[in-house]
């Protein structure tokens, strides 16, 4: 007796037997029972989800000798012929290999002929999206005025490639991917019927790898049976047949990542490569393991997990050692690697090795969200310390930390409910500018802006000015010290001073006079400076300089000397 593959042997023969598409079966049953049969159907969905099977059942329903029925007898010669794919009235065409205009013209001519035995001629065109535009045009003519005895069923995995003119003339049905649990049930059913003893972990592995395609799952089961030559499905055999990485190896790889042992991870990958494991498959397996870790981590139920009970404990333990962010980043990294491998397969080994090293460092990388948070805290502090800087940027939309005017402040506080006294105090602290008086350090802070505006009007003046140092501010007189008289004289002309003072006013909002001194003079002057004046001057000793304190505060730094 010849061997029939499981996919054919266990192909559903009635709507009730179709797995995972109750929404489609029910609609078709109702349509048949009420006599509302369309002349063109479009079945969309990924492979192995039951499109052709459903098309054949529909054909049987229309032509069964017992009459048009949603429950074909399965015994009459028509039903048997359709099931065997031998009916003259059911014409199955592969759109990929009959895609030209000649084939469709030929089809149009034959469409006109009456069915040989049944009531309807059913044309099932698979992969219909492969037809050429000319072929679609030719087909459209038939679809516009189909003969009464014809039903078209188009099947496609890519409905978006069909012209709108075709789409609008079809009744569309979207086939869902079949759930792992449904596939598992069917595999179990086949094993029971065939007298195959099965280790449920093995079947689960097949069901998961099929990714919603029943035909693929049944195909793998066939392969496993051929491989073992026996009557048993074991998990290890499935792994070998599918070229998948055993779970304990995946667990070990993830452990290496958790422990940041780049060398261990790379060595393990190399052992697998030398054993001939397909690297894309390996990448996908690691992704799938990480996906399970993520599901455990965020607290998903077992239905989502599709894992064996033994591995659940291991997953739980591993998931506790990785953050959600790290897992997500690791999955992204591996996906990226998988994409790269498609285009540079010769380098797949290197890509995977470097990816492993990256994964081992993933936990030490500071998350972007944390960096953004730090920056925004820093900006907040800047805004508090230097409100005048932020007011200048009023128009900038992204700036939200600009201090509020005092009168608005009260409203702002009232908006917030359940304020504690500390919070209220803190809010005051962050909203009120610490000082409204112009200090030396603020001038120094704003000085580049001042010289920049001068540079626009008189570049040489700005150049001379930038060779000077601001050394003192007292009684609205700003002292600028120069090392050479050449630069000093470059700013000393009255018209230049006026310009400089005007720009200082413009940028700082303060009317200050400038005084220029030579470094030599300043030193001799220093001995005559009174005590009160020295107090006003900021100390320039690096250890005590308040500016350094402020910088350290802003960047949360510490002294290291």
Binding site for Zn ion (CB under 5 A): 64, 72-73, 76, 79
CB of 39 to Zn ion, least distance (A): 22
Q: Is 129 helix (H, G, I), strand (E, B) or coil?
A: helix
Residue closer to Zn ion by CB (options 72, 468) is 72
Residue closer to Zn ion by CB (options 87, 516) is 87
User: 197 pairs with which residues across the strands?
Assistant: 232
CB of 55 to Zn ion, least distance (A): 16
Whole-angstrom Cα distance, residue 33 to residue 55? 17
CB of 18 to Zn ion, least distance (A): 17
CB of 146 to Zn ion, least distance (A): 24
CB of 90 to Zn ion, least distance (A): 13
CB of 17 to Zn ion, least distance (A): 15
H/E element, 126: strand 121-126
CB of 66 to Zn ion, least distance (A): 6
Tokens matching residue 387: 């409100």
Instruction: Residue 240: name the closest of 208, 206, 266 by CA.
Output: 206
Residue closer to Zn ion by CB (options 79, 187) is 79
Residue closer to Zn ion by CB (options 78, 462) is 78
CB of 74 to Zn ion, least distance (A): 6
Residue closer to Zn ion by CB (options 72, 387) is 72
CB of 81 to Zn ion, least distance (A): 10
How many degrees, rounded to 5, is the angle at CA 371 between CA 369 and CA 372? 65
Residue closer to Zn ion by CB (options 76, 266) is 76
Tokens matching residue 278: 């397909």
3-state secondary structure string, 17-77? Answer: HCCCCHHHHHHHHHHHHCCCCCCEEEEECCCCCCHHHHHHHHHHHHHCCCCCCCCCCCCCH
Residue closer to Zn ion by CB (options 76, 273) is 76
Sheet holding 40-44, edge to edge: 90-94, 121-126, 150-156, 40-44, 171-174
**Distance (Å) of CA 374 to CA 221, 366, 378, 381:** 54, 11, 6, 11
Whole-angstrom Cα distance, residue 204 to residue 310? 13
CB of 64 to Zn ion, least distance (A): 3
CB of 226 to Zn ion, least distance (A): 34
- Pairs from 218-227 (Cβ < 8 Å, separation ≥ 24): 218/5, 218/6, 218/7, 218/10, 218/186, 218/187, 218/190, 219/5, 219/6, 219/7, 221/6, 221/187, 221/190, 221/191, 222/5, 222/6, 222/7, 225/196
Residue closer to Zn ion by CB (options 64, 322) is 64
CB of 316 to Zn ion, least distance (A): 54
Residue closer to Zn ion by CB (options 87, 355) is 87
8 A C-beta contact, residue 113 and residue 141: no
Residue closer to Zn ion by CB (options 60, 464) is 60
- Pairs from 443-446 (Cβ < 8 Å, separation ≥ 24): 443/470, 443/473, 443/478, 443/504, 443/508, 443/512, 444/470, 445/386, 445/389, 446/388, 446/389, 446/507, 446/508
* Burial environment of residue 343 by CB neighbours within 10 A (0 to 12, 13 to 18, 19 or more): exposed
Phi-psi label, residue 129: left if phi above 0, alpha if psi -120 to 50, beta otherwise: alpha
Residue closer to Zn ion by CB (options 18, 257) is 18
Residue closer to Zn ion by CB (options 90, 210) is 90
H/E element, 430: helix 421-431
CB of 116 to Zn ion, least distance (A): 16
Tokens matching residue 526: 């220093």
8 A C-beta contact, residue 116 and residue 122: no
8 A C-beta contact, residue 513 and residue 505: no
CB atoms within 10 A of CB 8: 12
Instruction: Residue 24: name the closest of 186, 149, 155, 127 by CA.
Output: 155
Residue closer to Zn ion by CB (options 20, 72) is 72
8 A C-beta contact, residue 278 and residue 305: no
What residues contact residue 56 under an 8 Å CB cut-off, 6+ apart? 82, 83, 85, 90, 124
Residue closer to Zn ion by CB (options 77, 396) is 77
CB of 356 to Zn ion, least distance (A): 59
């Amino acid at each position: 007796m010849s061997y029939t593959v499981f996919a054919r042997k266990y192909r559903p023969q009635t709507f009730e037997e179709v797995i995972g598409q109750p929404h489609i079966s029910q609609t078709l049953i109702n349509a048949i029972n009420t006599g509302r049969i369309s002349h063109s159907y479009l079945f969309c969905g990924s492979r192995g989800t039951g499109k052709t099977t459903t098309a054949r059942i529909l054909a049987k329903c229309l032509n069964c000798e017992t009459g048009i029925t949603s429950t074909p007898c399965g015994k009459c010669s028509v039903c048997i012929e359709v099931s065997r794919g031998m009916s003259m009235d059911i014409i199955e065409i592969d759109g990929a290999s009959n895609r030209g205009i000649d084939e469709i013209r030929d089809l149009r001519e034959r469409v006109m002929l009456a069915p040989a035995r049944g009531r309807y001629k059913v044309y099932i065109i698979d992969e219909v999206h492969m037809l050429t535009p000319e072929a679609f045009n030719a087909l459209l003519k038939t679809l516009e005025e189909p003969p009464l005895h014809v039903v078209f069923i188009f099947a496609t995995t890519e409905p978006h490639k069909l012209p709108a003119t075709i789409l609008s003339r079809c009744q569309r049905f979207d086939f869902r991917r079949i759930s792992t649990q449904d596939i598992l049930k069917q595999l179990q059913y086949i094993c029971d019927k065939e007298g195959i003893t099965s280790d449920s972990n093995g079947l689960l592995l097949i069901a998961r790898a099929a990714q919603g395609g029943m035909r693929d799952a049944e195909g793998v089961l066939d392969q496993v049976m051929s491989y073992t030559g026996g009557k048993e499905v074991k998990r290890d055999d499935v792994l070998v047949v599918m070229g998948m990485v055993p779970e304990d190896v995946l667990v070990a790889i993830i452990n290496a990542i958790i422990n940041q042992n780049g060398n261990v991870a790379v060595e393990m990958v190399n052992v697998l490569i030398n054993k001939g494991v397909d690297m894309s498959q390996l990448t996908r397996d690691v992704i799938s393991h990480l996906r399970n870790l993520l599901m455990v981590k965020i607290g998903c139920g077992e239905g989502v997990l599709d894992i064996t009970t033994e591995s659940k404990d291991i997953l739980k333990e591993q998931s506790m050692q990785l953050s959600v962010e790290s897992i997500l980043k690791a999955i992204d990294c591996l996906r990226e690697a998988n994409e790269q491998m498609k285009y540079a397969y010769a380098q797949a080994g290197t890509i995977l090795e470097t990816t492993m090293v990256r994964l081992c460092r993933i936990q030490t990388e500071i998350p972007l969200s944390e960096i953004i948070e730090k920056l925004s805290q820093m900006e907040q502090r800047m805004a508090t310390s230097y409100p005048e800087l932020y007011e200048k940027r009023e128009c900038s939309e992204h700036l939200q930390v600009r201090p509020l005017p005092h009168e608005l402040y009260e409203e702002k506080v009232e908006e917030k409910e359940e304020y504690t006294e500390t919070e209220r105090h803190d809010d005051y602290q962050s909203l009120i500018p610490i000082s409204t008086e112009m200090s030396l350090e603020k001038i120094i802070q704003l000085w580049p802006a001042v010289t920049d505006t001068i540079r626009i009007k008189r570049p040489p003046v700005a150049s001379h000015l930038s060779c000077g140092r601001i050394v003192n501010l007292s009684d609205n007189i700003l002292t600028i010290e120069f090392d050479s008289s050449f630069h000093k004289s470059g700013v000393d002309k009255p018209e230049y001073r006026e310009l400089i003072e005007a720009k200082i006013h413009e940028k700082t909002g303060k009317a200050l006079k400038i005084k220029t001194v030579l470094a030599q003079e300043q030193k001799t002057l220093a001995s005559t400076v009174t005590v009160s004046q020295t107090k006003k001057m900021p100390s320039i000793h690096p250890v005590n300089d308040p500016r350094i304190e402020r910088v350290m505060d802003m960047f949360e730094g510490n002294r290291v000397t």
